[in-house]
Amino acid sequence: MNQKYVAIFLAAIMVMSILPFFFSGDANDSNTSEEVTGLEDAPGFEIIDGTHFDAEINSIAEGLTISPQGVSNAAYIDYSKVYGTPLQAFAPNITDLYSVYNTLIIKRYSAYDDEGFAFEAHVLSPEVINFQYIGAGTYNGYQLLSRGGELFNVIGTPTLLGTSSSLESVIDVSSGMSNSSTEYDEILGYVVPGAEYQMLSSEDLIAEQHYLEFRNMEDGNYTKTEIFLNPLEGTISTIAGFEANSTERGLLYDTTIEDDGRIVTVVVTSNESNFFNLAMEQYW
């Protein structure tokens, strides 16, 4: 088993983020140009001059519309819908969601590639400036706020976090100066909108592209959907093997193979008490 692939996949499942890479302990130690301590006293985004970022990020598909071409891994999670459900297993402690901005991150999209590009987009609630920063100039009308080291924010809905070069690339896409990521359009065409947790990768040893989601069906059941673009023959065989004895593990399978095997969709359903088996079903 390729250890790089396993590390990427499990990291995405358990923390869904490149944020730990960004914040290694000193990102909030910079001198502040605006220091506030409590949410009730914190000013809104209006104190930041310039253009504020504005985009919808309710899914990976929407996140990719602000991401440049070449993204190798992306993930999305709606924290407002996962706490208090088994999907909370894929979320950090809620205290950690306050730690970056001293206000709550309720939605999060992350994307990166192997060439050094990496950024996150966060929807905050409430949208206030309650963190330390240093104004570090502007790019195309957007203020870059230094968070220490090589990290910067661009304020808006969502608020962007990343290196200056990565954020400039995202701004270029949003401004129409460069093309957005379209590499995953085919596989995303098979995705039903609305899942709380989503992951997408092209660094997969069992398929050319791999989409994974978890969804609360709100009837006591949960589904895990995986979609594979150009899966290996061994992948299809492994899925068939799991499906053959799935009832023994309390799982209901619905597998669809389309376009002569070019697209394989696997939807697995379980009830809440059997969520662990659902989450751990893996096809490598």
φ, ψ at 212 (rounded to 5°): -135, 135
Residue 1 has pLDDT above 90, yes or no: no
Residue pair 195/201 in contact by the 8 Å Cβ criterion: no
φ, ψ at 43 (rounded to 5°): -75, 160
Q: What span, in angstroms and rounded, lies between the C-alpha atoms of 217 and 230?
A: 28
Domain-by-domain residue ranges, the chain? Answer: 3-174, 187-280
Q: What span, in angstroms and rounded, lies between the C-alpha atoms of 77 and 81?
A: 9
Give the 3-state secondary structure of residue 35: coil
pLDDT digits over 102-157, tens only?
999 999 999 999 888 999 999 999 999 999 999 989 999 999 999 988 899 999 99
Cβ-count burial of 149 within 10 angstroms (0-12 exposed, 13-18 middle, 19+ buried)? middle
Write the CATH number of the domain with boundaries 187-280: 3.30.200
Sorting pLDDT into bands at 50, 70 and 90, what band is 24?
A: very low
Q: What span, in angstroms and rounded, lies between the C-alpha atoms of 103 and 130?
A: 7
pLDDT digits over 230-249, tens only?
999 999 999 999 999 999 99
- Which tokens in the block code for residue 34? 């605006």
pLDDT digits over 192-212, tens only?
999 999 999 999 889 999 999
Q: What span, in angstroms and rounded, lies between the C-alpha atoms of 69 and 173?
A: 9
Q: Which of 259, 281, 282, 278 is nearest to 269 (CA)?
A: 278
250: left (phi over 0), alpha (psi -120 to 50) or beta: left
Res 37: pLDDT: 52
Give the 3-state secondary structure of residue 261: coil
